[in-house]
Amino acid sequence: MAFAVFGNGMFSLASFALSIAVARSSSIEEFGAFSFALVAYLFASGLMHAALTDTSLSRPDDPATFTRACQRASLLGLVTAVVLVTWGAVAGNDYLLIFGFAAHGVLMMDFLRTFDSAAGSAARAMAATSLWALGSLSASLIAIFVGLNPVVVFAAWAFSGALCGYATMAVVKAPLLPMWQRERLDTQAAGYFSGDYLIGQGGIHLTTGLLGIVGDARVLGGVRGAGTLLGPMNLIATTASSLMLPFLARDNDDPAQQRRSALAAVAVQVAVLAPLLVVVQFIPDSLGEQLLGETWQVAALAILPLSLDSIFSVATGVAISGHRVNFAGARSLLIRFGLGVPRPFVVLFGAYQWGVAGAAWAMAFFAVISAVIWWISYWDLGRQAIQKAAEENTDEESEKPAVNVDGEYTATEPLSVAQPQRPTSHRK
């Protein structure tokens, strides 16, 4: 766990520095182009994690499953590269073009480091992630303190990740051939997990990306700029969410205690995050411009609503973990679908009508609605579990033969059980 936390911390620090370095030395429109490329990475990486990493982690001791997942990851990375290189060239987006050329190696890096963190060598995952982070961080710091073209900074992030990905592939002797081997169970699981991702977290990334396609690049740049400043706080929530499943699973036999534990988890996270988010609201314009350059003008409009989004997303994450430990898969999928389908339309409408502020407040609105719906559902799951446990206890008590003080079995015993006779005393 310590290796994973350190590696993820280094990666988050490098991502934060990358966004700051690009924002400081670019226009709002250029930061929007950078943000679109970064959203493309987040979407592709999340899809790979859902479709392939989760499948391989479900059978971590099966080499054949790992081999198939590696080859499929390589194929997905290659397809992503072709799509993004073409898209970047047509749209004239240098950031998207650069990531397209590096996409295969970067996505393989993500697949292997995630697998290693959970089921392989956590130390190797930490080393690979740290090397990637150091390469990117070095370029970002040079850009911040000396000056460097933002495209060069992004290229350093992308290609250092690709090089670390290929080096990790060589170390673990991962198969290089990109192909999708026929294996019905793995393919079905990949399809289900991908669908769940696309209507959940993937839908959120897709919505953010659509802001740059359908809307104005300034809107996407503003939302991503505010998200950059909130990134360190969101890392706390992300780290806590990885611990939530085992934390709640401890109380699977006691639904009432599990609900109390879930409420306590929300309270602790909010107590840690809320003061930090309050401080962010009072960043002076001079400091905001030092951090984000021109982008601060639009990012400042999104900080408050996205802070609320962060708080309510914490509550949502705990409730989602509660559904998972209770194996409420069908219910979870239904909720995700109900929330995921209207979300892009509402956010894009807000962006169209009111710009950055409209998009950000639409996201906050959906965060509140999501938290309420997920918690109502989770509370109902707990109520059903408590009721079921009470009924089982009642049935167990009713099946026990009752004995009176004289040692006689009473009529509450089931008729199918033979009644023993009391010995009769023979007195003269």
Q: What is the pLDDT of residue 283?
A: 92
Burial-class residue 191 by CB neighbours within 10 Å (0-12, 13-18, 19+): exposed
**How many whole angstroms separate alpha carbon 397 and alpha carbon 33?**
67
Q: What is the pLDDT of residue 108?
A: 93
Total residues belonging to the chain: 428
Residue 238: which of 275, 201, 264, 280 has the closest Cα?
201
Q: What is the pLDDT of residue 363?
A: 94
Q: In the chain, where are the structural domains located?
A: 1-197, 199-397
Residue 91: which of 21, 40, 156 has the closest Cα?
40
Token pair belonging to 275: 């003061």
Q: What is the pLDDT of residue 181?
A: 76
The maximal CA–CA distance of the chain, rounded, in angstroms, is 116
CA dist 209 to 33, 82, 310, Å?
10, 18, 19
Token pair belonging to 160: 């250092």
Torsion, Cα of 337, 269, 241, 202 (10° steps): 40
**How many whole angstroms separate alpha carbon 270 and alpha carbon 94?**
39
Q: What is the pLDDT of residue 427?
A: 44
Torsion, Cα of 384, 390, 396, 400 (10° steps): -160
Torsion, Cα of 404, 405, 408, 409 (10° steps): 20
What residues form DSSP beta bridges with 233?
A: none
**How many whole angstroms separate alpha carbon 344 and alpha carbon 333?**
18
Residue at token pair 């192909």: 179
Token pair belonging to 31: 């930061």
**How many whole angstroms separate alpha carbon 5 and alpha carbon 240?**
10
Q: Which residues have CB under 8 Å from 379's CB, separation 6+?
A: 259
Give, for 205, the enclosing helix (H) or strand (E): helix 201-213
Residue at token pair 């350059």: 293
Q: Would you tell me the crossing angle of helices 150-172 and 94-119 to the nearest 10 degrees?
A: 40
What residues in the chain have per-residue pLDDT under 50? 409, 411-420, 422, 424-428
Model confidence pTM above 0.75:
yes
Quickly list DSSP for 139-172.
HHHHHHHT---HHHHHHHHHHHHHHHHHHHHHHH
Residue 150: which of 214, 221, 83 has the closest Cα?
221
Assign residue 420 a region (left: φ > 0; alpha: ψ between -120 and 50; beta: otherwise): beta
Whether residue 165 contacts residue 186, with contact meaning beta carbons closer than 8 Å, is answered with no
**How many whole angstroms separate alpha carbon 30 and alpha carbon 20?**
13
